[in-house]
Amino acid sequence: MTGPRRVAGAVHAEAIKLITLPSLALTVALTWALTALLGLTGRPGGVLVYTQVGFLVLGVLAATHEYQGGGQIRASLLAVPRRPLLAVAKIVALAGIAAPFALVAAVLAGRPGATGGLLLDLVLAAGVGMLVKHSVGATGLVLTAYEIVSPLVRTHLPEVARLPSSAWTAAVLLVAIAIFARREA
């Protein structure tokens, strides 16, 4: 199998993993429902912050399910032993599959322009999940960063807060891929 076919196979496999995992579909459904319901209440400041939490959880679960019961991570590494390829395939498949779901969620939140931002949050959370491996720990870390650290930084260090969110996402992904590639599974 030549290079492009190997990449396509790895991405295809990751896509099948994502669409056949019930907990991910459930997370998307709950995020949509919550966004729509809160939208009806007409909250001042909008509901996007809650939608964002849903996509952070989705990103964490997409990455950490590899490490839950059954030892799937070993099957993954046996199927695609080139770890940087495996890590990149995970991110590409996740962003690609989640894009239409993020668009619907952003529309439900009344902010269709926020689709790209939700996808950046999603893949950043997946990077953290890849690093931390445990669903609960990674979720706690991501939510703490977004809901507590980030507002503090915005208040006290506005020049740091001006970094685009794509820069944060890229930084987390680079670290996650580098560590994933070196770690013994």
Partner 1 sequence: MITIDGVTKIRGRTRILHEVSFTARPGRVTGFLGPNGAGKTSTLRVLLGLDRPQAGTALIDGRRYADHDRPLTVAGALLDGSGAHRSRSARAHLRWVAASNGLPRARVEEVLDLVGLSADAGKRAGRFSLGMGRRLGLATALLGDPPVLILDEPVNGLDPAGIRWMRTFLRDSAATGRTVLLSSHLMGELAETADDVVIIDRGRVVAAGTLAEVVGEHATLEDAFLDRTASEGVSW
Contact 90, 160 (CB under 8 A): no
The 8-37 contact track toward partner 1, x by CB under 8 A, reads xxx-xxx-xx--xxxx--------------
Q: Does 184 bind partner 1 (CB under 8 A)?
A: yes
- Least Cα distance to 127 among 185, 78, 88 occurs for 88
CA distance 141 to 177: 18
Q: Which of 30, 33, 37, 70 binds partner 1 (CB under 8 A)?
A: 70
Q: Which of 4, 42, 44, 81 binds partner 1 (CB under 8 A)?
A: 81
| Phi and psi angles of residue 89, each rounded to the nearest 5 degrees, phi first | -60, -40
Q: Which is nearer to partner 1, 68 or 150 (CB)?
A: 68
Q: Which is nearer to partner 1, 9 or 96 (CB)?
A: 9
Other residues' Cβ atoms within 10 Å of the Cβ of residue 14: 24
Contact 143, 53 (CB under 8 A): yes
Give residues in contact with partner 1 (CB under 8 A): 1-2, 5-6, 8-10, 12-14, 16-17, 20-23, 65-66, 68-72, 74-75, 77-82, 184-185
